[in-house]
Structure 1
């Protein structure tokens, strides 16, 4: 499938030499995309086509991104309609970046005591009890209503055609087959995912027409509600919000809550009615004249901002791309930021208030950078104390002293389940248009094996597992009703001289920000093209707590790319690292570069999976 995607992406040649601005010696497997009017990139070829269809009908980047989101959810591209949607939007009218927070919340009854009484160390990974309230439907409709130009009927049309039946790709079909025993425990999931019960292969075959009648009916209800509102004289925006209300307060909500509770979950109809999408101010920092924007601390996004602040204290370019010194410096800088993430990040709507002013201050970053020993790895890197940098005393000083002390076992072996959870995919969506709208989205949740909510056809989220139950692990991220978990999902926008410079995101759990940082530095420090930067070999640190499963970590664990020379690994081993290798480490990253010199877009999509883009 990977080879097929490469062929589709670049019909002219299987291997294309990208034209670097400085002739950087990288040969890419995919050519860069070029466009003048619009760009649409996402996790599946069919979904990118959905975005192109909307652009061809006159839609803007918001309309196209909503169509791509709907299509990827319908294709179960490691997410579904019951998951969560996080986005950054550049509004060319205001010249501002907007953050969309469409992450679900813990339902009524979801307390630390509830899960501890069940003998759990963390909320579960699977099933209805793992679900927070669905956010993607609300996020899509909010983005469309507030910033789009088209109707819900128009942007849902490709997804509804797919729900009627589309040829399922091997990646998803095989994932269903691998997870079929778990799926069989949930009656509504079994009905949708396993059309060949009792046969050797019970999941659909690759290329088989996959039909989702219940989901189609749910989407049709939303469109019908919108159309009735329009006939009654409502505006486009008002009509979309009436569909929104039907999802969260009407018959769809009733069935969702009923079936969630039937299957052991906690979500009530009132939980759905009370939940709302938040339109927020993003967080940002300036790195060498480039303003980088991320979501707030309910995501891991500020990790990238913290890391860039630390890295400003080093001359990365002089170290050389992927040299031992470069890898070591970046690894240590990221670990300093991730240690802060693990202890301080959480839902800002709940007390205690996270010390973000201190965490993002340049002075704090400079002092943190002084902790890096240039000669060896430090497995004891822990959270810092940002409170003095915002003129306060740390209320968790005693907790901070003991944080993570039991986890510094350099001989600890990570399980296969850890790596599966740590790198668990979702999708990403990048879109831009000639009017100046730019969208970066990292939606997720409700992935296979998903517990489907009754006759809605919607897979429930599994995001509850990202909470902790013990304040000692993170006093800001302890589960509570109505609270959002701290998630890994983290789209990115960057502006230069007040104009869009880069829009980029990737899938894969806790790997996201550390690989997005490397992509960004590939372009900014080493002058790679966007496609080169997407494919260039990266490295991965496991010296942070996983946001999934048993929340494990492995200090000193460093995954290198197979292309990296053996002496790099030897040097790093002497510095205290435990190295291993992976064939592909860069993605999947999707990105758009804005070429203001020529008035065009450059699109990039890594050679990692089925991610695909189209431009015009």
Structure 2
């Protein structure tokens, strides 16, 4: 398969994101003298405006960042915790056996704004006004509506009109059936950004002080107050078919701050790969690399049945460990060193046989006994409408778009100095929760990812972070900056990005070609999102997979499900050529609106 377009090279900086307007905004920042971190923040705010069906200011973000001249990578956790009022018993008293995937109950502290401010304040160079300007412009003056957003608005219009009036005020400004490509505005969100900027600039003339003042205005000022006033209005409809009030309060917002820490890493040949920690699913990527080190992948051949089988079987093992062991490390003793160790990888690698495994097989790092709670039976009523069918699924995607369920956003940026950043913003999408009409955005619903079962690292506790699927990646090669990448895709992110990475480093494909080979994944592990579906033995592959390869996989015991070509994921990547002379970028053709740029 020939790549559809070239890998982009330049000398100033390179960007790839899931929307061309975000990529354009980032490039403008780079052209105006900003660094990669400034550019990523600008792109992140634009994504909140132009992809509201996938993310928003009430959601969350996971960021990994590498400063030029350093040999490490930092993670910024923009994943807010659950409210102090949220406990397992809280939901039991409501008669619930699981946390619904929509509405007010699963809302946690919105971490995206704090995460972006931490990146800008500690890593960036520009003022808040410089990076907010593009988002304010698109929110105020409008942007061309994506077909996916238009479908989401038209599908959810009855809910917005009858049950979630703030969402109607925010998203039905052009009527209940907006046309794809039509001009769409969110003037209320523009005003929210402008108020935050006014709070910043009235507080100080100092850049860092302005950024801190904006963060204060969000978490302890007018934004927090508007959120509190809205939640005080009372119960609203959610996925259960009933109305529930929120657990989140202004005090929860006021007590939270985003954290910066050393990213989790592991070597793979000459590459050092960095991921967010076990509060995310990020280490799954590293576990897969540890397992795959014992196989001669180039000898198998890219896209062969042996290659796909081996990669999928290793993914099953790593994802099984995610289910048993990952959670907020501030609350649980996650055995991460053991999970990523050579001895453990050798033991687990021996489980990869010639036939497909059909069950979850978590391991016993440090001799511990694994525990995976049973998948909860959703408390949702049988849907009696299209709207309720959508709310029962906690993913942002409107289900009839595609079986691929591509969701979430990604932005990656590098600059000529050697700075690199990859971020995966998500949450606070229009389907998640009622929009706050005075702010122009809804809250996120990441709480649905937690267990209502005692004794698990991801069990619900007050003030605990839900284990997120958001999983960006940075790679150094021989200690030098090399690559930043990510993809939308929920639980499947670390399967699709792994294939991209192996295409580049094991099979020698350029970045663009690496995004365009046949993508595949396993659905054996329960989804992090309600209704936590899983399908043992199913291997999903794009229909570009060779018929002979499909037949060989089926003989190995895989239930192969073919989906449309170019429908799995939207990998975005930016990095440096192997000689370090040029920056480079690539974006998957999937979805048709991820774009790369360089200069």
Superposed pair shares fold, TM > 0.5: yes
Separation of aligned partners in 1, 2:406 and 2:595: 19
CA gap 1:584/1:596 in 2 versus in 1, 3 angstroms: closer
Q: Does the alignment pair 1:436 with 2:418? A: yes
**Contact conserved, 1:418 with 1:552, CA < 8 A, in 2?**
no
- With 118-127 and 46-55 compared, the bigger mean Cα shift is at 118-127
- Decide which of 401, 407, 412 is 1:425's aligned counterpart: 407
Q: Does the alignment pair 1:175 with 2:152? A: yes
Match of 1:243 in 2: 214
Separation of aligned partners in 1, 2:72 and 2:476: 10
Separation of aligned partners in 2, 1:369 and 1:432: 35
What's the CA shift for 1:456?
1.4
Question: Which string of whole-angstrom CA distances, capped at 9 and with x for unpartnered residues, describes residues 37-82 of structure 1?
Answer: 1112211111111112211211111111000000000121510111
Match of 1:448 in 2: 430
Question: Which string of whole-angstrom CA distances, capped at 9 and with x for unpartnered residues, describes residues 182-239 of structure 1?
Answer: 3332111111111255xxxx143233332222212211111112211234xxx21122
Separation of aligned partners in 2, 1:126 and 1:182: 12
**Contact conserved, 2:110 with 2:443, CA < 8 A, in 1?**
yes
Q: Does the alignment pair 1:253 with 2:224? A: yes
**Contact conserved, 1:247 with 1:253, CA < 8 A, in 2?**
yes
Give the SS at the match of 2:483: strand
Written as runs of structure 1 = structure 2, the 5 A alignment for 1:292-371 is: 292-350=273-331, 352-371=332-351
- Decide which of 359, 365, 369 is 1:380's aligned counterpart: 359
What's the CA shift for 1:530?
0.3
Query: Structure 2: 5+ residue runs without aligned partners?
Result: 237-244, 378-388
What's the CA shift for 1:564?
1.4
Match of 2:178 in 1: 204
Give the SS at the match of 2:204: helix
Match of 1:14 in 2: none
Match of 2:199 in 1: 225
Q: How many residues align?
A: 564
CA gap 1:586/1:522 in 2 versus in 1, 3 angstroms: farther
**Contact conserved, 1:260 with 1:454, CA < 8 A, in 2?**
no
Match of 2:571 in 1: 589
Separation of aligned partners in 2, 1:308 and 1:354: 19
What's the CA shift for 1:453?
2.2
CA gap 1:405/1:155 in 2 versus in 1, 3 angstroms: closer
Match of 1:104 in 2: 80
**Contact conserved, 1:535 with 1:587, CA < 8 A, in 2?**
no
Match of 1:470 in 2: 453
What's the CA shift for 1:405?
14
Give the SS at the match of 1:479: coil
**Contact conserved, 2:18 with 2:409, CA < 8 A, in 1?**
yes
- Decide which of 442, 447, 453 is 1:459's aligned counterpart: 442
CA gap 1:418/1:101 in 2 versus in 1, 3 angstroms: closer
Written as runs of structure 1 = structure 2, the 5 A alignment for 1:526-541 is: 526-541=507-522
**Contact conserved, 2:81 with 2:465, CA < 8 A, in 1?**
yes
**Contact conserved, 1:193 with 1:203, CA < 8 A, in 2?**
no
Q: Does the alignment pair 1:115 with 2:95? A: no
- Decide which of 15, 19, 27 is 1:40's aligned counterpart: 15
Separation of aligned partners in 2, 1:295 and 1:32: 27
Q: Does the alignment pair 1:186 with 2:160? A: no
CA RMSD of aligned residues (A): 2.1
Separation of aligned partners in 2, 1:359 and 1:403: 22
CA gap 1:63/1:242 in 2 versus in 1, 3 angstroms: same
TM-score, normalization: structure 2? Answer: 0.90
Question: Which string of whole-angstrom CA distances, capped at 9 and with x for unpartnered residues, describes residues 489-531 of structure 1?
Answer: 0000011110112111000111100111111111111110000
Separation of aligned partners in 2, 1:175 and 1:585: 18
Q: Does the alignment pair 1:543 with 2:524? A: yes
What's the CA shift for 1:404?
7.9
What's the CA shift for 1:120?
2.7
Separation of aligned partners in 2, 1:615 and 1:129: 43
Separation of aligned partners in 1, 2:55 and 2:394: 19
**Contact conserved, 2:72 with 2:262, CA < 8 A, in 1?**
no
TM-score, normalization: structure 1? Answer: 0.88
Give the SS at the match of 1:47: helix
Separation of aligned partners in 1, 2:484 and 2:328: 25
Give the SS at the match of 2:590: coil
Separation of aligned partners in 1, 2:310 and 2:452: 33
- With 86-95 and 417-426 compared, the bigger mean Cα shift is at 417-426
Match of 2:382 in 1: none
Give the SS at the match of 1:440: strand
Match of 1:494 in 2: 475
Give the SS at the match of 1:379: coil
Question: Which string of whole-angstrom CA distances, capped at 9 and with x for unpartnered residues, describes residues 241-295 of structure 1?
Answer: 0111111001211111221342522211100000110001111111112101000
What's the CA shift for 1:470?
1.4
**Contact conserved, 1:539 with 1:585, CA < 8 A, in 2?**
no
Q: Does the alignment pair 1:160 with 2:136? A: yes
Match of 2:61 in 1: 85
Give the SS at the match of 1:179: helix
Query: Structure 1: 5+ residue runs without aligned partners?
Result: 1-25, 389-393, 407-414
Question: Which string of whole-angstrom CA distances, capped at 9 and with x for unpartnered residues, describes residues 271-327 of structure 1?
Answer: 000011000111111111210100000110000100100111111111111211111
Separation of aligned partners in 1, 2:261 and 2:32: 30
Separation of aligned partners in 2, 1:418 and 1:579: 25
Separation of aligned partners in 2, 1:354 and 1:476: 7
